[in-house]
Structure 1
Amino acid sequence: MCDWANRIEYSLWTQHCDEGRRFGHMTTDISECVNSILKGVRNLPVCSLVKETYGRLAELFVRKRREAEAQMGTGQQFSQHLVKCIEANLKTARCFTVTVYDRDNSEFTVAETTPTGSFSLGTYRVSLASRTCDCGYFQALHFPCPHALACCAYSRLTWEPYVHQVYRLSLVFSVYQMGFTPPIPDGF
């Protein structure tokens, strides 16, 4: 497992190398995941903990690989989670007013307005070139927030280039390509 983990770019899975990037995951979420895996075997010997964890990981990798392969087979490019987030962000972005400040460097301001357009709820600076927004979500999650999507729509740009590669199904599939060796049966 260590060899497999070390082949993955450290910035994608270690907190000390992520340069502030968490891709929507918090440390407590990961520890809660591990706790749910170990639920029911906590009071067993260490060997049983390791076997249970290994077995569940093997099952998870097979299932996730099949899911990613099926989605890629239908021509999808991004994870379903990302697509749902983008769709929700696009709905939110409909009520925004975009002002271009520097078209060459893709610098904008976005005013959130009420659905009737009667007054502004807030203004955010967006830089598509540096993939930042004052709301903080663009740089924290590494895919366009509603403000960035409004800028893309205003400039007639597609949002796909502004999504980090970690959300691409091809990368998800490559993570789950690893095979597991069946464990040695008890008594040997």
Structure 2
Amino acid sequence: MHQANLINRDTGEFEVLAGRHGDRMHKGNNTQIVIMKERKCSCNKWQSFGFPWLHMLAACAFIRVNSSRFIEPYYRIDVYT
């Protein structure tokens, strides 16, 4: 489970605490910084792959924002139908 905390409302900056991933004890249990307005995460997955990662989804859930607006069009099914 991921838990988000707002750091800076103006920049949309969040601290996201990632819990352990079940039986994979070497995964999780870390902190990432998400900056919504810049579409960045300190894990670099958002920047590398172009789609929001769990850290960003946790931040969206915290502020009750629909995360689909952060998905690039080429990853959206409705673009191709």
Same structural fold, with TM-score higher than 0.5 when normalized by the shorter chain: yes
SS in 1 for 2:48: helix
Q: Distance in 2 between matches of 1:151 and 1:170?
A: 24
RMSD after superposition: 1.9
Q: Which residue of 2 aligns with 1:154?
A: 62
Q: Which residue of 1 aligns with 2:36?
A: 128
* TM score, norm. by length of structure 1: 0.37
Q: Which residue of 1 aligns with 2:25?
A: none
List, as ranges, runs of 4+ consecutive aligned residues in structure 1 with deviation greater than 6 Å.
none
Q: What displacement does 1:137 show? A: 1.1
Q: Which runs of 5+ in 1 are unaligned?
A: 1-94, 174-188
Q: Which residue of 1 aligns with 2:48?
A: 140
Q: Which residue of 2 aligns with 1:101?
A: 7
SS in 1 for 2:38: coil
Q: Which runs of 5+ in 2 are unaligned?
A: 22-27
Query: Which structure: greater strand fraction?
Result: 2
* TM score, norm. by length of structure 2: 0.79
Q: Deviations over 1:122-172 (max 9, x none)?
A: 110101111111111111222210000000000100111100111233543
Alignment of 1:12-31 (within 5 A): none
Whose Rg is larger? 1
Q: Distance in 1 between matches of 2:31 and 2:66?
A: 22
Query: Which structure: greater helix fraction?
Result: 1
Q: What displacement does 1:114 show? A: 3.5
Q: Deviations over 1:51-83 (max 9, x none)?
A: xxxxxxxxxxxxxxxxxxxxxxxxxxxxxxxxx
Aligned length: 75
| Percent of aligned pairs sharing the same letter | 28
